[in-house]
DNA sequence: CTCCGAAATAACAACGTTGTTACTATAATG
DNA sequence: CATTATAGTAACAACGTTGTTATTTCGGAG
């Protein structure tokens, strides 16, 4: 049986409401009384009952996170960062790896203050949720939910634009092409837009499709690419993991970046600095993403309806000397 | 504001206690009344308040899982399987990726019925937890906690024993050697025991240390190994991911299994069948592990003190034609 | 038609906590 | 010394649910 404030009250010889106040540092209890109570609470190993607390306060100070099934590994650092940020705001995060609808139901029952979901393209019917939801995804695809959109399309477009501006016309895009995952589709779309706009060459390996964002996929695809007769002069990789694999392949094949190949990688995350070669990246820095996501969550927690439903984050280039002008 | 049983009661023109009983299919309410109530509850989108429920019932029907920091990816399939099993028992699982002590505190507050932790070697001081804990780890290292121990040491020993029995004496062990992670240390210990027992040759690459269990690590290590003058005739890999990398390297180097190299991989998981080559494995099958973990959790949930504190699971070999007798 | 007993439903207490209100010493004021 | 603020603490209601107990309703027996 757990120890409750009543146990503490009995042990301290005060009423349980005094204990409650003392533990929450209310100015209504005298300093010595508070100290006394706190000491006893400590001795008994008191842990507040979240159920009772949230029942009366109607707030659980907890955020639910629905961990996406696809690319589970890829989101690991984002979730870790979210976890830390929320902790700093003294919010607790609880994760569910269940299918989204089920997970949201669970969080509903637990009356978490808000839920963070990852837009995998199936978010359409999210409206009947009682608990406020924030989506990390694509603005258009989850119309009824506040969404933080990092504009993947624009990011990739930006990368292509930059490469074109320094003279490249044969650019290969490494990415997942045929997928229900809207995030990946957006990236591919950004590339295609740039191809059209800048009249990039439509050589055979304009698109280098991979079946997932794992690094091994990038490795294999890069090896195959370099066996082709017509090679690109620049590459855009749609994820950090992919980039890792591609670079490994290049190392083996003695392709050096940027001398033999210009390179831009999506995902502006700290891990980029762990690569052997400095690689320019495009995208919204991870810490900015989680900062905005946290803000959005705090918004829906207090407002329950946030007016500004969609937050677009501007992707940018972080140049790190992996691109050489092509003449 | 959420809809409660009182709202339903008002709408249905009955008392709220009747609603409670109707929703939980108590035989104390007449069939038509129940149907009526359920319909209304549905219309209003009622979701039971877990806080209130667990407050009165003292059970949350929830299991907390502390996702380990190290090798987070590697445990993904185990956690998924646990999640499914618990769901089938109509338990909900909540995951925390916080540091263990903090995570357990959170779960304590939420009064989850039990917590599952992964033994990373820091479980020593787990006793003061009010909520019952089950550990997936090493029996000796978490003395006060019911533990499911898959006997990694024995598993690797078994693998070496088998290879020795078919004539191999130059065997390389791929694994993380110098780590606080007791799980990895146990595996290495198993190998060393076998080396001693069977007087295996102490050639330079008896141990092939890797810095993590990622497949890339296996890949690199395998490449380096095959440049050595003295090569093993058999390999024991301490994880599935490692195995993936090693096999990829072998493919590139035209080393064929089992003709040029015998091979046994730790981790008996379904993913083994996705490898290009059939690979013999050693270890306790994943589904058995999760079955026992679930049983252990259910035990502590009802008993609060389980008498049989440690459950040893017997590792076994699953032979799949990746080993050739050495003559 | 009255009364009994079962069946159905209603009322109520309890779970552990918080916020509000009510009480009780204590000190200050005249 | 009586009166009144005031600080400190106690008592109590409420949160949404469940299990127990009390009440109503109704069909059938007398």
CB contacts of A103 in chain B (<8 Å) are none
Q: CA A87 → C1' D6, Å?
A: 40
Q: CA A14 → C1' D7, Å?
A: 16
Structural class in CATH, domain B62-150+287-312: alpha beta
CATH fold for domain B152-284: Rossmann fold (3.40.50)
- pLDDT tens-place string over residues B139-160: 877 777 889 999 999 999 999 9
Q: Is B169 on the interface with A (CB under 8 A)?
A: no
- pLDDT tens-place string over residues A204-262: 999 999 998 888 889 889 999 999 999 999 999 999 999 999 998 999 899 998 999 99
Residue B162 reports pLDDT greater than 60: yes
Q: Which nucleotide is closest to B28, CA to C1'?
A: C8
Question: Rounded mean pLDDT of chain B?
Answer: 89
CB contacts of B110 in chain A (<8 Å) are 50-51, 110
CB contacts of B96 in chain A (<8 Å) are 92-95
Contacts of B232 by beta carbon, 8 Å cutoff, 6+ apart: B168, B170, B171, B172, B203, B205, B225, B261
- How many residue pairs from chains A and B have C-beta atoms closer than 8 A? 95
| Subset of residues 46-105 in chain A with CB less than 7 angstroms from any atom in strand C | 46, 48-49, 52-53, 55-57
Q: Does strand D come within 7 Å of the CB of B56?
A: yes
pLDDT of residue A142: 72
Q: What is the pTM of this model?
A: 0.85
Domain edges within chain A: 5-48, 62-151+286-314, 152-283
Please give, rounded to a whole number of angstroms, the shortest distance from the CA of B111 to a CA of chain A. 7
Nearest CA in chain B to A48: B109
- Selection from A262, A269, A270 nearest residue A283 by Cα: A269
Q: What is the arithmetic mean of pLDDT over A4-22? A: 91
3-state secondary structure of B188: helix
- What is the rounded distance in angstroms from the CA atom of residue A26 to the CA atom of residue B218? 57
Same fold, B62-150+287-312 and B152-284: yes
SS (H, E, C) A144-166: CCCEEECCHHHHHHHHHHHHHHC
Q: Identify, with chain letter, the residue nearest to nucleotide D18 (CA–C1').
A: B56
Contacts of B118 by beta carbon, 8 Å cutoff, 6+ apart: B66, B67, B68, B75, B135, B136, B137
How many other CB atoms are found less than 10 A from the CB of residue B138?
21
CATH fold for domain A62-151+286-314: Rossmann fold (3.40.50)
Q: Is B98 on the interface with A (CB under 8 A)?
A: yes
Q: Does strand C come within 7 Å of the CB of B13?
A: yes
CATH fold for domain A152-283: Rossmann fold (3.40.50)
Cβ(B120)–Cβ(B180) under 8 Å?
yes
Tell the CATH superfamily of the B5-48 domain: lambda repressor-like DNA-binding domains (1.10.260.40)
- pLDDT tens-place string over residues B214-254: 888 898 899 999 999 999 999 999 999 899 999 989 998 99
- pLDDT tens-place string over residues B246-286: 998 999 899 998 999 999 999 999 889 888 899 999 999 99
Q: CA B26 → C1' C20, Å?
A: 37
The interface residues of chain A toward chain B in range 259-318, judged by CB-CB distance below 8 A, are none
- What is the rounded distance in angstroms from the CA atom of residue B139 to the CA atom of residue B179? 18
Alpha helical stretches, state H, chain A: 5-12, 16-23, 31-44, 50-57, 76-88, 100-109, 152-165, 182-198, 215-225, 240-253, 286-303
């Amino acid at each position: 049986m757990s120890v409750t404030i009543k146990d503490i009250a009995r042990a301290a010889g005060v009423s349980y409401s005094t204990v409650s106040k003392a533990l929450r540092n209310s100015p209504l209890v005298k300093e010595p009384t508070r100290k006394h109570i706190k000491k006893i609470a400590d001795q008994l190993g008191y842990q507040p009952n979240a159920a009772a607390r949230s029942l009366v306060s109607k707030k659980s100070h907890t955020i639910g996170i629905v961990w996406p099934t696809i690319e589970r590994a890829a989101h690991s650092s984002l979730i870790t960062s979210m976890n830390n940020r929320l902790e700093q705001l003294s919010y607790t995060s609880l994760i569910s790896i269940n299918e989204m609808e089920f997970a949201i139901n669970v969080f509903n029952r637990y009356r978490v203050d808000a839920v963070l979901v990852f837009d995998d393209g199936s978010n359409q019917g999210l409206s009947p949720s009682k608990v406020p939801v924030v989506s990390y995804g694509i603005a258009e695809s989850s119309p009824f939910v506040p969404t933080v959109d990092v504009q993947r399309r624009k990011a990739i477009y930006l990368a292509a634009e930059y490469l074109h501006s320094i003279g490249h016309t044969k650019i290969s895009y490494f990415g997942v092409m045929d997928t229900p995952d809207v995030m990946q589709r957006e990236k591919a779309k950004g590339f295609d837009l740039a191809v059209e706009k800048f009249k990039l060459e439509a050589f055979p390996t304009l698109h280098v499709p991979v079946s997932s964002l794992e690094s091994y996929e990038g490795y294999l695809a890069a090896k195959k690419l370099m066996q082709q007769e017509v090679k690109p002069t620049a590459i855009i990789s749609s994820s950090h993991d992919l980039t890792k694999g591609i670079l490994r392949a290049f190392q083996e094949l003695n392709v050096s970046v940027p001398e033999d190949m210009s390179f831009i990688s999506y995902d502006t995350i700290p891990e980029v600095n762990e690569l052997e070669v400095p690689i320019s990246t495009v995208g919204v820095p991870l810490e900015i993403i989680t900062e905005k996501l946290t803000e959005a969550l705090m918004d829906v927690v207090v407002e329950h309806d946030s007016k500004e439903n969609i937050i677009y984050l501007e992707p940018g280039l972080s140049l790190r000397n992996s691109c050489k002008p092509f003449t």
